[in-house]
Amino acid sequence: GENVEQHPSTLSVQEGDSAVIKCTYSDSASNYFPWYKQELGKRPQLIIDIRSNVGEKKDQRIAVTLNKTAKHFSLHITETQPEDSAVYFCAASAYNQGGKLIFGQGTELSVKP
C-alpha cells in the first residue's frame, strides 16, 4: 500500500522567511496530493492540493510542487507570519483506492516574530 514520508518533523523560521516542507510517496498510482494545516486542538483544514497532471500550483503565499518521476511533492510558504505556526500534513491518494488519503507524519512549523 501507499506510504508517505514527510520531512522535517519540526521547522522553525523567522517571520518573513520562507518555509519548505517535503514529502515522498511510494505508490506510483497516487494522483492526488493535498496539504492540511492543523492548529493546536483543532481539526485539520485543507489549505492547498495538486493533482498529478499539474507540476505546480500557487495560492497567494502558498505553493505546492509535484515531481511525479521522483515521487515527491513539496509545500512552500513565503513571507511567513506567526499565524502560519501549526502542524502541516501532506497526504496522497490514488483514485483506484477510492480517494483514501494516506498522511505523512506531520511537520510542526514555528514562525518566530
Partner 1 sequence: GAGVSQSPSNKVTEKGKDVELRCDPISGHTALYWYRQRLGQGLEFLIYFQGNSAPDKSGLPSDRFSAERTGESVSTLTIQRTQQEDSAVYLCASSLVGAGGYTFGSGTRLTVV
Residue number with CB closer to partner 1 (75 or 102) = 102
For residue 83, which phi and psi values (nearest 5 degrees)?
-75, -5
Instruction: Please tell me the distance from the alpha carbon of residue 30 to that of residue 19, in angstroms, as a whole number.
Output: 25
User: Do 60 and 12 touch, CB atoms closer than 8 A?
Assistant: no
Residue number with CB closer to partner 1 (18 or 96) = 96
Residue number with CB closer to partner 1 (18 or 45) = 45
As measured in angstroms, the least distance from the Cβ of 16 to partner 1 is 28
As measured in angstroms, the least distance from the Cβ of 45 to partner 1 is 8
As measured in angstroms, the least distance from the Cβ of 94 to partner 1 is 12
Ramachandran bin of 24, using left for φ above 0, alpha for ψ from -120 to 50, beta for the remaining angles: beta
Query: Which chain residues interact with partner 1 by CB under 8 A?
Result: 1, 6, 32, 34, 36, 42-46, 49, 89, 91, 95, 97-106
Ramachandran bin of 61, using left for φ above 0, alpha for ψ from -120 to 50, beta for the remaining angles: alpha
Residue number with CB closer to partner 1 (41 or 113) = 41
Q: What number of residues does the chain have?
A: 113
As measured in angstroms, the least distance from the Cβ of 4 to partner 1 is 9
